[in-house]
Amino acid sequence: MTDSWPLLLIDWYRAHARVLPWRNPPGAALPDAADWPYRVWLSEVMLQQTTVEAVTPYFRAFTARWPNVAALAAADDAQVMQAWAGLGYYARARNLLACARAVVAQHGGRFPGTEAELRALPGIGDYTAAAVAAFGFGRDAVVIDGNIERLTTRLFGIVTPLPAARGAIRDALGAVLPVAQAGDFAQAMMDLARRVCTPRNPQCLLCPIAAACAARSAGNAEDFPVKPAKRARPTRQGTAWWIEVDKHVLTVQRPAKGLLGGMRALPSCDWKGLGAQPPLPGDWRLLGAVQHGFTHFELELRVQALWLPERSLLQPAIAGADWVPVAEIASAGLPTLFAKAAALGQTAIRGELAA
Ligand code: SF4
């Protein structure tokens, strides 16, 4: 590892830095304005999960309308929400207001400068606290976002998978942090990661710190950051019930809470096994099973069918029941899992009728 790479990187940044309304020009002293940390904080909250291009007009509009944290804290909630519309993730806007009001109530309308104090404010996590400390106050804070994680694991050849690698990344960057230049260093890392050390096809030939890069010399940059091995998802089992009367099939509205909450579906059990009793006694036929993947598990849902001669035999009555013509069940707006089950029901019925 070439020891001087942080300074080479800062030199590159000074020559290539983008001009942004919340960014202090590289190498310049921080603005001596009380509202500067406010501008840094506002930009960082806006930039979470949103691009620089999308944020820029919002940032200009917000700072024109609410030029400091006290003005934002005194703003009407509805007006702030309206001004935020289009940036998405409204929880961030609510946290924005909560944080501005906490800064006024707890710190006299001036952002505190230490990471610990910043982290204690609503909506401020490790990354934003470090960013405001470094970019807003010139503190020697180690700023780490996803882009910096990728770049650092490549530079140092850190093979520990994320997120376990975060301690090693912090230690590696803390050890090389250029004194009194933490802000420029972090901005440089971010710019290099976005423009050169990209997730796919990093431009190592254009990289100002290629000589110091472990992944570059090993020729395996795209192997970093190492991802944790995927855990196999468990398989759960359950039963759905196809109840048909006079070419209409029974659907219900699922409980508001839980998976597929509030959606129309075939009646089904709680997917905790195959032991559930059908909603009414009768000559149930097993039609088969469908598979469906949820985020945390695979579901094998078997489908049982019952054909009744009239609806009054459905006792006890099922709350929220709605009868859908069998021929229209595919367009009834069922979620994918139940659309698969319904397709099985339709196919089986045709077989039954043809038999
Ligand atoms: Fe990224 Fe390549 Fe530069 Fe290494 S040499 S930091 S992999 S762009």
Single out the residue in 223, 246, 274 at which a domain terminates: 223
CATH number for the domain spanning 271: value is: 3.90.79.10
How does residue 114 score in pLDDT terms, banded at 50, 70 and 90?
A: very high
pLDDT at 171: 97
Please check whether residues 218 and 250 belong to one and the same domain. Answer: no
- The answer to whether 238 and 270 are in contact (CB under 8 A) is yes
Q: Is 212 in the pocket of ligand 1 (CB under 6 A)?
A: no
Please check whether residues 214 and 297 belong to one and the same domain. Answer: no
Please check whether residues 192 and 247 belong to one and the same domain. Answer: no
Task: Kindly write down the DSSP assignment for every residue of 262-308, as one continuous string.
Answer: T-EE--B--SS-S-PPPSS-S--EEEEEEEEE-SS-EEEEEEEEEEE
Q: Is 215 in the pocket of ligand 1 (CB under 6 A)?
A: yes
Please check whether residues 198 and 248 belong to one and the same domain. Answer: no
Please check whether residues 28 and 135 belong to one and the same domain. Answer: yes
Domain count within the chain? 2
Average pLDDT across the chain, whole number: 92
**What tokens appear for 138 in the block?**
């010139």
pLDDT at 223: 96
Mean pLDDT of 8-36: 92
3-state secondary structure of 250: strand
Smallest CA separation from ligand 1 atom 2, residue: 204
Q: Is 202 in the pocket of ligand 1 (CB under 6 A)?
A: yes
228 lies in some domain? no
| Cα distances (Å, whole numbers) of residue 44 to 104, 145, 295 | 19, 11, 30
Query: Which atom in ligand 1 lies closest to the alpha carbon of residue 214?
Result: 4
Mean pLDDT of 272-288: 90
Please check whether residues 198 and 275 belong to one and the same domain. Answer: no
Report pLDDT digits (tens) over 115-131. Answer: 999 999 999 999 999 99
266 lies in some domain? yes
Smallest CA separation from ligand 1 atom 1, residue: 197
How does residue 308 score in pLDDT terms, banded at 50, 70 and 90?
A: confident
Please check whether residues 290 and 336 belong to one and the same domain. Answer: yes
**What tokens appear for 245 in the block?**
């009367």
Q: Is 254 in the pocket of ligand 1 (CB under 6 A)?
A: no
Say whether 222 is catalytic: no
265 lies in some domain? yes
137 lies in some domain? yes
Rounded to the nearest angstrom, the distance between the alpha carbon of 257 and the centre of ligand 1 is 46
Q: Is 289 in the pocket of ligand 1 (CB under 6 A)?
A: no
Please check whether residues 63 and 186 belong to one and the same domain. Answer: yes
pLDDT over 80 at 319, yes or no: no
Q: Is 150 in the pocket of ligand 1 (CB under 6 A)?
A: no
How does residue 349 score in pLDDT terms, banded at 50, 70 and 90?
A: low
How does residue 355 score in pLDDT terms, banded at 50, 70 and 90?
A: very low
Rounded to the nearest angstrom, the distance between the alpha carbon of 294 and the centre of ligand 1 is 36
Mean pLDDT of 204-209: 97
Please check whether residues 76 and 124 belong to one and the same domain. Answer: yes
SS3 content of the chain, % helix, strand, coil (to 5): 45, 10, 40
Please check whether residues 219 and 240 belong to one and the same domain. Answer: no
**What tokens appear for 69 in the block?**
């944290």
Rounded to the nearest angstrom, the distance between the alpha carbon of 160 and the centre of ligand 1 is 18
Distance CA 235, CA 300 (A): 7
Query: Which atom in ligand 1 lies closest to the alpha carbon of residue 206?
Result: 8
Q: Is 155 in the pocket of ligand 1 (CB under 6 A)?
A: yes
Q: Is 151 in the pocket of ligand 1 (CB under 6 A)?
A: yes
How does residue 352 score in pLDDT terms, banded at 50, 70 and 90?
A: very low
The whole domain housing 72 covers: 5-223
pLDDT at 354: 37
CATH number for the domain spanning 119: value is: 1.10.340.30
229 lies in some domain? no
Report pLDDT digits (tens) over 139-177. Answer: 999 999 999 999 999 999 999 999 999 999 999 999 999
Rounded to the nearest angstrom, the distance between the alpha carbon of 191 and the centre of ligand 1 is 12
Of 24-28, 124-128, 135-139, 345-349, the one with minimum mean pLDDT is: 345-349
How does residue 108 score in pLDDT terms, banded at 50, 70 and 90?
A: very high
**How many percent of the chain have pLDDT more than 90?**
74
230 lies in some domain? no
326 lies in some domain? yes
Rounded to the nearest angstrom, the distance between the alpha carbon of 1 and the centre of ligand 1 is 13
Report pLDDT digits (tens) over 35-55. Answer: 999 999 999 999 988 899 999
Please check whether residues 19 and 73 belong to one and the same domain. Answer: yes
Please check whether residues 327 and 244 belong to one and the same domain. Answer: yes
219 lies in some domain? yes
Single out the residue in 223, 244, 260 at which a domain terminates: 223
Mean pLDDT of 238-248: 93
Single out the residue in 199, 223, 247 at which a domain terminates: 223
- Site to substitute for ligand 1 among 216, 220, 223, most atoms within 8 A of C-beta: 216
Task: Kindly write down the DSSP assignment for every residue of 183-239, as one continuous string.
Answer: HHHHHHHHHHHHHTS-SSS--GGG-TTGGG-HHHHHT-GGG-SPPPPPPPPPEEEEE
Mean pLDDT of 102-126: 97
